[in-house]
Amino acid sequence: MTYKLLIPVAFILVWLGFVFYIAYTKRSLKGYLATVVYPGLFFIAVWAILYYMLLS
């Protein structure tokens, strides 16, 4: 794993930690789907496509 992948992977882990924190403390992730989960998944997908295009 190169250093170019460490920061994005760290950001994904922080986001996953935040989602798990919300799910654990609020006990309902449904209220946060439109504000946390879907935008985060969209950002990760766009980032992955762009990063793949830049590194290949």
pLDDT tens digits, one per residue of 34-44: 888 899 999 99
What per-residue confidence (pLDDT) applies to 5? 74
Helix crossing, 6-26 with 38-55: angle to 10°? 170
Q: Domain boundaries in the chain? A: 3-55
Confidence of residue 28 (pLDDT cuts 50, 70, 90): confident
What is the pTM (predicted TM-score) of this model?
A: 0.75
Contact in structure between 18 and 12 (CB atoms under 8 Å)? no
